[in-house]
Amino acid sequence: MTMENISANRSFGGWQRQYNHYSETLGCSMRFAVYLPPQVEQGEHGEPGIKVPVLYWLSGLTCTDENFMQKAGAHRIAAELGVAIVAPDTSPRGDGVPDDAEGAYDFGLGAGFYVNATEEPWAKHYRMYDYIVNELPQLVQQEFPVTDRWSISGHSMGGHGALMIGLKNPQQFCSVSAFSPICNPMQAPWGQKAFANYLGDDREAWRQYDSCELIKIAKSVPPILVDQGSDDQFLTEQLQPEKLVRAVASSGLNFELRIQPGYDHSYYFIGSFIEEHMRFHASHLNK
Ligand SMILES: N[C@@H](CCC(=O)N[C@@H](CSC=O)C(=O)NCC(=O)O)C(=O)O
C-alpha cells in the first residue's frame, strides 16, 4: 500500500496532514486526513516519541475529510491527550464512480452511508464499511506511529456509521461516540433512500447496518456516548434518538445519551462538546 502526502500543517505542536492513496476496496483514489499529536515526535522532557491510540472520525452528508479537522476544534485536546485522529472521506469519488442522477446531497457522492453496496451501479465502488473497518486501519497501522487501541466517533450519517461499526466490531474499538446520529436509518428518509439504492428492497439486508436493530441483539458492546441537540432541524424526521433509547432499555449496556438544550445540527454543536467526547475516548483508550 502506498500513499502520497498532499498537505501538512503544524497544529498545537502536532501535525495535520492529508494523504491520497489508491483504495483496492473502493476501486478509486481516496483522500483522508490524520492529526498526529506532539507525543509521536518527542516526549515532554525530550525523550523519544511514542505510539499513540487513534480516534476514527466519520463525517456526515456532504462532508469530506476536511470538515471535522477544520471546524470541530479537536486538535488542541487531541494534542493534550496524545490521541491521533483519522478522518476519512464520506464516499468513494473520482472518474468512474457513479453519483445520484440529480446530484442530490443525501445519496451518492458524499453519502456512502458506511455500508457495502450490493446493488448496481453502486456495488463496485460503494464499499465504505469494508474501507473503514479493514483497509484504512491497516494502512494507518502500517504508516503511522499508532497503537492498536482505537475508538470511533462521528456526526449524523457518520454518527450512524460510528455506532453501527462499533456495534458490529466490539473487539476492534475501545469506545464509541456520536453527535446527532441517524439512529434508526431503516425508519428514516435519509437511510431508507440510501439503503434501498445501495442494498436493494429486501429490508432484511438493511438490518445489519441499523444501530437499533444491532443493539437489540448485541451481547457486549464498547462504552457508548451520544450527544443530541434539542433544536436540531433533523431531530424528529431523520435522527430519532428515542428509538435508540428504547432499543437499549433494559439491555444493561454501557450507554449514555444526552440531550443538549438549544443546540442544532451544526459543527458549532460538535465544537461545543468535542472535548468531552475526546476525554471520554481517552479514558477508555488509555485503560
Ligand atoms: N442541505 C444541507 C444538508 C447537509 C448537512 O447538513 N450536512 C451535515 C451533515 S448532515 C448528516 O449527515 C454536515 O456536517 N455538513 C457539513 C458542515 O461542515 O456543516 C446541505 O447541503 O448543506
Any ligand 1 atom below 6 A from CB of 60: yes
Nearest Cα residue to atom 18 of ligand 1: 67
Helix (H, G, I), strand (E, B) or coil at 257: strand
Average pLDDT value for residue range 193-197: 98
Burial of 106 (0-12, 13-18, 19+ CB in 10 A): middle
> For residue 42, what pLDDT band results from cuts at 50, 70 and 90?
confident
**Sequence-separated (6 or more) residues with CB below 8 Å from residue 249:** none
Q: CA angle at residue 125 from 121 to 131, to 5 degrees? A: 145
**Range in 17-26, 164-173, 215-224 the model is least confident about:** 215-224
Distance of CA 67 from the midpoint of ligand 1 (Å): 10
Atom of ligand 1 nearest to the CA of 111: 12
Residues with catalytic roles: 156, 232, 265
12-41: burial string, b at 16+ Cβ within 10 Å, e else: bebbbbbbebebebbebebbbbbbbbbbbe
Distance of CA 198 from the midpoint of ligand 1 (Å): 20
Atom of ligand 1 nearest to the CA of 60: 12
How much is the ipTM here? Answer: 0.94
Nearest Cα residue to atom 1 of ligand 1: 105
Any ligand 1 atom below 6 A from CB of 114: no
Any ligand 1 atom below 6 A from CB of 70: no
Mean pLDDT (the chain, rounded): 97
Q: For residues 156, 268, 273 and 75, what is the CA-based torsion angle, rounded to 10 degrees?
A: 100
Q: What one-character DSSP code corresponds to residue 287?
A: -
Atom of ligand 1 nearest to the CA of 267: 19
For 221-258, what is each residue's pLDDT tens digit? 999 999 999 999 999 999 999 999 999 997 888 999 99
Query: What is the pLDDT, as a whole number, of residue 222?
Result: 97
Query: What is the pLDDT, as a whole number, of residue 179?
Result: 99
Cα separation, 31 vs 64, whole angstroms: 8
pTM of the model: 0.97
Record the cell numbers describing residue 191, joined without a space: 437511510
Query: What is the pLDDT, as a whole number, of residue 99?
Result: 96
Query: What is the pLDDT, as a whole number, of residue 251?
Result: 83
Q: Please state the separation of Cα 268 from the chain's center in Å.
A: 18
With a cut of 80, say whether residue 267 has pLDDT above it.
Answer: yes
Any ligand 1 atom below 6 A from CB of 86: no
Atom of ligand 1 nearest to the CA of 59: 14
For 44-96, what is each residue's pLDDT tens digit? 688 889 999 999 999 999 999 999 999 999 999 999 999 999 999 999 999 99
Query: What is the pLDDT, as a whole number, of residue 47?
Result: 85
For 134-181, what is each residue's pLDDT tens digit? 999 999 999 999 999 999 999 999 999 999 999 999 999 999 999 999
Any ligand 1 atom below 6 A from CB of 157: yes
Query: What is the pLDDT, as a whole number, of residue 60?
Result: 98
Domains in the chain with CATH codes: 3-285 (3.40.50.1820)
For 101-125, what is each residue's pLDDT tens digit? 999 999 999 999 999 999 999 999 9
Distance of CA 31 from the midpoint of ligand 1 (Å): 19
Cα separation, 185 vs 174, whole angstroms: 24
Nearest Cα residue to atom 14 of ligand 1: 60
